[in-house]
Amino acid sequence: MNDGITRNPNGEVLIGDFTARELTERFGSPLYVYDEDTLRNRCAVIKEMCRQTKLNINYAVKANSSVGLLKIIRDENIDVEVMTLGEIYTASAAGFPYSRMLFVSNNVAPETFKTVSDFGITVCLDAVCQITSYGQVRQSRNVYIRLNPARGEGHHEKVITAGKVKFGIDLDQIDSAFAEAKKWDLEITGFCTHIGSKFNTYEVYHENVVNLLKLAEKYPSIEYLDFGGGFGIPYDRTAETPFPFEAYTPVLHKTLTDWVNRTERKIKFGIQPGRYLVAESGICLTRVITDKINRGIRFIGTDLGFNFLLRPTMYDAYHEIINASRIGKESDAVTVTGNICESGDILGKDRLLPKDTTIGDILIVRDTGAYGYSMSGNYNSMPRPAEILINRNKKAHIIRKAENYDDIPQQANPVPLKPYTSFKLGGPADAVCFPSDITELNALLHTLKANEIRFLFLGKGSNTIFTEAGFRGCVIIPSGSFKEISVSEPNIIKAGTGVMNMELSAFARKAGMGGAAFLSTIPGTVGGAVFMNAGAYGREVCDILVKSDCLDTVSGQIISLSAEEHVFSYRCSIFHERSLAVLFAYFRTQPAATEEILADEQRMKLQRRTNQPINRLTWGSVFKNPEGNSAGKLIEACGLKGKGFGSAVISPKHANFIENTDGNAAFADTLRTVQLAQPRVKDKFGISLSPEVRIYDEHDLVFLFFIIQNGTSVSLADSTIDFEFHSLHSFQPLRINNFTRDGIFACGELCSCVPVLSIITSALKPDASS
């Protein structure tokens, strides 16, 4: 909030057009309150320095991930730095395209790297082994690495992020990082650092800038240098000052200008502020619940525990505390506490509050806009408070609703299907389940079938699209043992249905087993590859598949199919006709030198990078290639490259791909873009294009493209299929992360208001798992 405190004639603090009490009576206590003017002011300060020094700004989303605040930051033309898929999805919900995100890794799993790479987000890697993980699944060739300088500083040892800490790559490992990147045909084009937090002077920060510039001179491939964030604010206004941007700007400008002029390097620079932008824009309002004296200490107890504001407990951090209800002529030194069952639940010791502070008063805890709500949780099973914004007209509105006690055992958060498809389109499902082995899968299917709940299997969704209405039923994504690879017998690789094709190819290469290199260029999983007989560069799955273990989803029996029994043809198999789900697939290989296999992979990857939009959001090929012809060339000959509707565009690089240019393509626009190609090709060449992609609406698999190709005049309205592009239902989906052996959920998110979820959760008991 603003530095000055304004009170009405009754001595009550005014926040916008409201008193603190009016806000808590309207929105509840405790309450997070943000001020739009303060946030925009801090953005303006940072932007002015960066305008003069030509720095790019990436706001650190972890500081405060409220969508309402992120929208303001987006409108201020500031980009974002993200560290998790959750932060990516949150930033996307606030309207940030993936091109305005920088992903900085910290112990990131390969499957997360795959998703981030599919989004086309710039990646910064913070360990040599993370370069390996990313190289196995990446789409983009250029990467940054995070370095760990020898010196780090901060207001507490837990926020020092350089030196003897887990972050970044030590400077003596840089050459090893470049060598590892070369193995995976990656090019390191950027260095990033972040040495600590809450700098109230610039000397230490600038020392890191100078050192990073010197280091970059040794590496000609570097095109971007990020100096990190950590700019401090005065939590204690009696003893601290904010980071001196006005004084530092000319110093930084001269340093960068002199370096560029001397080295003649065309290089970009960036920073990653978090706290400075949002901290002072936020306060917490909390109600006094108790007032007592223990062992001579006066304790003022509030309803704001460390579950909602962790900084004082975790970092011994200081936040100014003000009584918003009264001024008071005399003061008392008190200890202000929260309502959590921990002795450490203390907001502040020896704080001066009016002597007549009493139960029911409203206290203000200042400067909680950074690392406040974003670090909150449900400890002691307490529902989290609301967040509200005081806009520029001094009016208050909710930007995040308060949780209630029904939310605690259920954690009913929507689970959109958008993250589970490579095109990134799709509304929520009733349930998304992740069985880890055959026992758990059978228990789940038994329950679903017994209660007539629809289900479908999904891998990485590289050839699947859902409409905005989502899917009424249960989406099953095999996990655990279904994502394992092994050598089952000499020259035979066994891979679970959830194994990524690129992982299978990498496993074969490391084991000196040739013949599977073409899989390194095929997005998606083994299950999907077998399902559609995927292929690339003259090779198909049918060329190397020996057999597969499948689940008959009708009888529940596991059967083994020989290669011949798969009835493979071009992009087709028996799975299109029978209710079978691939569990494990077995592939025949031949002994080969690792170097030869790697060279083969790199040759095909280069060809793919040259001809296909690999760093864009697509679902792979839109249409099957007609016999003796190329769907892409036919569409290109119709002059349709770059054409489309909304964010859905026929790829300018390869016409048999449709790109989701900013991650926000609507299904209706995607459909219209597809409709551009089929009738044009039919009219010009007399050839009907058949689709590779599967489309689901909320109730059924939609054979949409079949309708279009067999009647080019048939419009959507003329078809017998009922589409609901925008009718999201008022259910709360379920995400089940894993099961225990007896079928009870070990970790899940449930909502009793959804019949599907109630059935699943009540039925998966020990006696239902057999």
| Runs of H (alpha helix) within 227-301 | 245-263, 275-278
pLDDT, average across residues 21-50: 96
The per-residue pLDDT for range 286-299, each reduced to its tens digit, is: 999 999 999 999 99
The per-residue pLDDT for range 73-92, each reduced to its tens digit, is: 999 999 999 999 889 988 98
Residue 124: what pLDDT? 96
pLDDT, average across residues 599-616: 89
pLDDT, average across residues 513-520: 94
Say how far apart CA 187 and CA 189 lie, in whole Å. Answer: 6
Residue 197: what pLDDT? 76
pLDDT, average across residues 225-230: 92
Q: How confident is the model at residue 128 (pLDDT cuts 50, 70, 90)?
A: very high
The 3 state secondary structure assigned to 120-186 is CCEEEECCHHHHHHHHHHCCCCEEEEEEECCCCEECCHHHCCCCCCCCCEEHHHHHHHHHHHHHCCC
Domains delineated in the chain = 14-33+280-400 (2.40.37.10), 105-272 (3.20.20.10)
Residue 472: what pLDDT? 78
pLDDT, average across residues 508-522: 94
Pick the most confident of 129-138, 290-299, 714-723. 290-299
**Closest among 570, 458, 461 to 115, alpha carbons compared:** 461
Residue 160: what pLDDT? 55
Q: How confident is the model at residue 456 (pLDDT cuts 50, 70, 90)?
A: confident
Over the chain, what is the mean pLDDT?
84
Residue 341 phi/psi, 5° resolution? -80, 65
Is pLDDT larger for residue 618 or for residue 408?
Answer: 618
pLDDT exceeds 50 at position 729: no
Helix (H/G/I), strand (E/B), else coil: 686 = coil
Residue 570: what pLDDT? 84
pLDDT exceeds 50 at position 300: yes
**Closest among 253, 353, 346 to 306, alpha carbons compared:** 346
Cβ within 8 Å of residue 225, ≥6 positions away: 190, 191, 192, 212, 213, 216, 267, 268, 269, 270
Helix (H/G/I), strand (E/B), else coil: 211 = helix
Task: Compute the half-sphere exposure of residue 118: CA atoms within 13 Å on the CB side of its CA.
Answer: 29
Say how far apart CA 24 and CA 44 lie, in whole Å. Answer: 30
pTM score > 0.75 for this model? no
Residue 29 phi/psi, 5° resolution? -130, 140
Residue 38: what pLDDT? 96
Helix (H/G/I), strand (E/B), else coil: 682 = helix
Residue 707: what pLDDT? 30
- Helices 128-137 and 501-510 cross at an angle (nearest 10°) of 120
Q: Which of 117-131, 240-254, 459-473, 711-725 has the lowest mean pLDDT?
A: 711-725
Say how far apart CA 506 and CA 389 lie, in whole Å. Answer: 50
Two structure tokens written together for 362: 């409203």
Residue 696: what pLDDT? 65
Is pLDDT larger for residue 368 or for residue 697?
Answer: 368
Say how far apart CA 484 and CA 526 lie, in whole Å. Answer: 11
Residue 507: what pLDDT? 95
- Helices 36-53 and 245-263 cross at an angle (nearest 10°) of 30
Residue 576: what pLDDT? 77
Task: Compute the half-sphere exposure of residue 666: CA atoms within 13 Å on the CB side of its CA.
Answer: 8
Q: Which of 35-49, 81-95, 464-478, 489-503 has the lowest mean pLDDT?
A: 464-478
Cβ within 8 Å of residue 58, ≥6 positions away: 78, 79, 80, 81, 102, 226, 270, 271, 272
pLDDT, average across residues 557-569: 92
pLDDT, average across residues 605-633: 88
Cβ within 8 Å of residue 610, ≥6 positions away: none
Residue 628: what pLDDT? 87
E strand or H helix that includes residue 403: none
Residues designated as active site: 341
The per-residue pLDDT for range 626-658, each reduced to its tens digit, is: 988 999 999 999 999 999 999 999 999 999 999
Residue 751: what pLDDT? 26
Is pLDDT larger for residue 153 or for residue 499?
Answer: 499
The per-residue pLDDT for range 97-113, each reduced to its tens digit, is: 888 999 999 999 988 89
Cβ–Cβ under 8 Å, residues 736 and 433 = yes
**Closest among 683, 752, 105, 23 to 387, alpha carbons compared:** 23
The per-residue pLDDT for range 248-285, each reduced to its tens digit, is: 999 999 999 999 999 999 899 999 999 999 999 999 99
Q: How confident is the model at residue 717 (pLDDT cuts 50, 70, 90)?
A: very low
Residue 697: what pLDDT? 59
Say how far apart CA 631 and CA 672 lie, in whole Å. Answer: 18
The per-residue pLDDT for range 148-190, each reduced to its tens digit, is: 886 656 555 544 555 567 778 988 899 999 999 999 999 999 9
E strand or H helix that includes residue 761: helix 755-763
Say how far apart CA 124 and CA 108 lie, in whole Å. Answer: 11
pLDDT, average across residues 31-45: 96
Cβ–Cβ under 8 Å, residues 519 and 537 = no
| Runs of H (alpha helix) within 494-593 | 501-510, 526-532
Cβ–Cβ under 8 Å, residues 131 and 177 = yes
Give the angle subtended at the CA of 570 by the CAs of 569 and 574, to the nearest 5°.
40
Cβ–Cβ under 8 Å, residues 760 and 447 = yes
Residue 381: what pLDDT? 85
In percent, how much of the chain has pLDDT > 70?
86
Q: How confident is the model at residue 343 (pLDDT cuts 50, 70, 90)?
A: confident
Say how far apart CA 500 and CA 191 lie, in whole Å. Answer: 29
Helix (H/G/I), strand (E/B), else coil: 231 = strand
The per-residue pLDDT for range 570-590, each reduced to its tens digit, is: 888 888 788 888 999 999 999
**Closest among 676, 668, 704, 520 to 605, alpha carbons compared:** 520
Q: How confident is the model at residue 57 (pLDDT cuts 50, 70, 90)?
A: very high
Cβ–Cβ under 8 Å, residues 70 and 49 = no
The per-residue pLDDT for range 381-428, each reduced to its tens digit, is: 889 999 999 999 999 999 999 888 766 555 445 567 888 888 888 888
pLDDT, average across residues 318-336: 91
pLDDT exceeds 60 at position 527: yes
Residue 726: what pLDDT? 24
**Closest among 123, 88, 87 to 105, alpha carbons compared:** 123
E strand or H helix that includes residue 696: strand 694-696
Cβ within 8 Å of residue 535, ≥6 positions away: 518, 522, 541, 571
Cβ–Cβ under 8 Å, residues 119 and 94 = no
DSSP bridge partners of 545: 587
Say how far apart CA 658 and CA 423 lie, in whole Å. Answer: 9
Please write down the long-range contacts of 119-123, taking CB distance under 8 Å and 24 or more positions apart: 119/88, 119/424, 119/617, 119/663, 120/615, 120/616, 120/617, 121/82, 121/88
